[in-house]
Structure 1
Amino acid sequence: MPPSDIDVIRARLAAHPRPADLAERRARIESLGAGYALPPDVRVEPVDAHGVRAEWTSTPAADGERVVLFLHGGGYVSGSLRSHRHMVAQAGREARARTLAIDYRLAPEHPFPAALDDALTGYRFLLASGIAAARIALAGESAGGGLALAMALSLREAGLPLPGCLWLSSPWIDLALTGASLESKAAVDPLLSRAYLAELASLYLNGADARGPLVSPINADLAGLPPMLIQVGSAETLLDDSLRLAQVAGAADVAVHLEIWPRMIHAWHLFYQDVADGRRSLTNAGSFIQSHLDAR
C-alpha cells in the first residue's frame, strides 16, 4: 500500500530535522511554506499597519468588507509572512474575504508582550480603515492561535468592539505545559515535544508568568468572546490544549465548534496543496468564517 499523503509529509519532515541554531530553525520554517507556489489569481500587497509590517492577500471573489486577520505559527520565535502566505491566501479564498497577515515581532529579541502589542495594532489598523469589527475574523495557527485568543481577551478588557468570530488552528494556549497529550501523543507528533515547547515558552515569556491569561488563555475567563472554530489534529502533542479550550469556552457560554482531524499532524494546513485533509479543513474554516461574518 502506498503511503498516505500525510505520511509523505512526515517523511519530508524527518528528512530535514529541526536544527539547533535559531537562525537555521527560522530558515527551516520559511522553507516549509516557500516551496508552495501561489495561484496566479492571488494578489499580494504589503502594507504598513500603523507601524507594524503586514500583508494583504486577496482573490477575485473576495468581499472587500470581510477580513481574516491572520497570525502565523512558529512558537513565537519563528514564522513569517512568507512561510504562511500560500495557506493564508487559500483560507481567504475559502472565506471569500481579504486576509491581513501580521508580521509580529519575534522572541527572544522581542519577548512578551511585543507580539500581542503588534497584533492589537493590526486590529486597530483595520478598524481605522473602516472595516467593521463584526466583519473581521481573528485567526491564528499554533502560537498564532494562542495570540489570537489573547487578542480577543485584550479587546474585551479594553472595551473595543469584538470580531465576528475566531478561527484557531492547533492553538497553543497553555505555556505552562500541563496538557496530558504532551506525553500521550509524544510518539506520533513529528514537530513538537515537551522539551522543545518548554524552550520556546522560556524565550517568549522572558520571566513572565506562564499561567498568565494573556500567554496561556486556557486560564482566562472567556465569557463574552465571539464564536470560535477550533481545528486540531489527532496526532499532536497540543491536542489537549484544544480539547480543554473547547470545554472552558463552552462552560463560559461561548459558541464553540471543535474539529479533530484523524491522523493529522501539527499545522497540517500548511501542506494543504499535498494533503487532502488540509484542503478540506480550510474549506470548513472558510465556511465557518463566511457564516459568522455574514450573520453579524
Structure 2
Amino acid sequence: MGMDTVAASDVNRRHWEAVARGGDVPPWQDLGTEPEGVVATRVDEPPGLWLQPPDADTRAAILGIHGGGFVSGSSATHARLFGHLALAARTPVFAMDYGLVPAHVFPSQVEQVAIAHRWLSERASRVAVAGDSCGALLALGRALQPDAAPRGLFLMSPWTDLAAGGASYDRGADPFFTRDVVRGLAEAYLAGAYRHDVRTAPLDADLRDLPPTLVQVGGDEALLDDAVALVRHAGAAGVDVRLDIAAGQLHTFQMAAGRSDAATRAIAEAGAWLRSILVP
C-alpha cells in the first residue's frame, strides 16, 4: 500500500486536517467503532461511564482520563476508545468526566481525578490509569501524588511540556498542533498558576516512584518530543517504561480503534500490557 493510500485511509489524520481547516468537524467519537459486547453504565458520582467487557476480571479496573486540551472531550467522546481498551485488557474501565476550561481550571481537574481514582480503588484491588493527551498529563499528575500508587500507567500522546518546546513542532507533519495552539491551551488551563508544579510539569518532577508505564505516540505528531522526553526522564529515574512510536500517525491516533489498523493494533498491545500488570 502506497503512502497516499495510507493517508487517505487514516481517519484520525482526516479528523485533525478538518479541525485545522475549521468549520464542521464530524463527531470525535465516530473515529472508532463500537466495541462489541461492552456494556456502558452511567455513574453520577463521580461522573463518568463504567465500561464492562464480557468475562472481565473484577479484581482489577482501569481509570480512563479523556483528552481534549482541557476545553473539550468527555466520557462520551472517549467511550469507544476506552471500551476497546476494556475489551483488549479484559478489564473494566471507568471513563471519568471532569470540568472543562474556562469554567474549571487548574487544579480543579487534578482534584477531580483524585476523587475518581480513590472511588475506583475502593471497588478494585488493582487499578491502572490510562489517559490521552491532557488526560495523560492528569494521569501523571495523579500518579505522582503520595496516596495514589496505581499499578501501571498507559499514556497516549502524552502532553508533558506545556511550554511546547519540543523540536517536533518544527517538522511540519502535524496539521493542527502548533506551538501557539498548545501554549494557548496551556495558558487557559493554568489561569496564572505556577507552571512548574509537578502536577503540570512532569518533566521537572522526580519520577522514581512511577509505576510501570507504557507510552504510545504518533511519529508525525507535534507532541512526539513530549513523549520522548518523558520516557527519557522516567528511564533515567529507574522507571520500567516502554515507548511505542507509530510511524506516520498523528495525535491520539488510538481514537480510531476498529477503523485504523495502527489504532487497533496499538490498543490490542496496550490491553495485553495492562492485563500483564493488573492480573499477574
Q: TM-score range by the shorter chain?
A: over 0.9
CA contact (8 A) 2:219 2:249 kept: yes
Match of 1:70 in 2: 64
Q: CA RMSD in A?
A: 1.9
Q: Name the amino acid aligned to 1:38.
A: E
CA contact (8 A) 2:215 2:242 kept: yes
Q: Do the aligned partners of residues 199 and 294 (structure 1) sit closer, same or farther apart at CA in structure 2, a change above 3 Å counting?
A: same
CA contact (8 A) 1:5 1:275 kept: no
Match of 2:144 in 1: 153
> Relative contact order (C-alpha < 8 Å, sep 6+): which is higher?
2
1:187-216 Cα offsets, whole Å, 9 max, x none, are 111231111101100110000122321112
Q: Do the aligned partners of residues 180 and 17 (structure 1) sit closer, same or farther apart at CA in structure 2, a change above 3 Å counting?
A: closer
Give the secondary structure class of the aligned counterpart of 2:44: strand
After TM superposition, the structure 1 = structure 2 runs for residues 227-266 of structure 1, keeping only pairs within 5 Å, are 227-266=212-251
Q: Do the aligned partners of residues 164 and 8 (structure 1) sit closer, same or farther apart at CA in structure 2, a change above 3 Å counting?
A: closer
Bigger shift: residues 253-262 or 211-220: 211-220
Q: How many residues align?
A: 277
Q: Name the amino acid aligned to 2:188.
A: L
Q: CA deviation at 1:107?
A: 1.2
Q: Do the aligned partners of residues 58 and 220 (structure 1) sit closer, same or farther apart at CA in structure 2, a change above 3 Å counting?
A: same
CA–CA separation in structure 2 for the residues paired with 1:258 and 1:220? 19
Match of 1:143 in 2: 134
Bigger shift: residues 188-197 or 136-145: 188-197
Q: Indicate whether 1:117 and 2:111 are aligned.
A: yes
Q: Name the amino acid aligned to 2:154.
A: W
1:22-53 Cα offsets, whole Å, 9 max, x none, are xx8xxx58x1214645245110011133xx31
Match of 2:55 in 1: 61
Q: Indicate whether 1:99 and 2:93 are aligned.
A: yes
Match of 2:159 in 1: 172
Q: Indicate whether 1:14 and 2:8 are aligned.
A: no
Match of 1:206 in 2: 191
Give the secondary structure class of the aligned counterpart of 1:167: strand
CA contact (8 A) 1:6 1:264 kept: no
CA contact (8 A) 1:138 1:166 kept: yes
Q: CA deviation at 1:127?
A: 2.3
Give the secondary structure class of the aligned counterpart of 1:64: coil
1:194-242 Cα offsets, whole Å, 9 max, x none, are 1110110011000012232111211110111100000011101100011
Percent identity over the alignment is: 35
Q: CA deviation at 1:138?
A: 0.6
Give the secondary structure class of the aligned counterpart of 2:61: strand
Question: Which consecutive unaligned segments of at least 5 residues does structure 1 have?
Answer: none
Q: Do the aligned partners of residues 12 and 150 (structure 1) sit closer, same or farther apart at CA in structure 2, a change above 3 Å counting?
A: closer
Q: Name the amino acid aligned to 1:169.
A: M
Give the secondary structure class of the aligned counterpart of 2:77: helix
Q: Judging by fraction of residues, say which structure has more helix.
A: 1
1:240-279 Cα offsets, whole Å, 9 max, x none, are 0111101110111110011111111101001122210100
CA contact (8 A) 2:19 2:176 kept: no
CA–CA separation in structure 1 for the residues paired with 2:87 and 2:244? 20
Q: CA deviation at 1:16?
A: 5.1
CA–CA separation in structure 2 for the residues paired with 1:12 and 1:147? 24
Q: CA deviation at 1:11?
A: 3.5
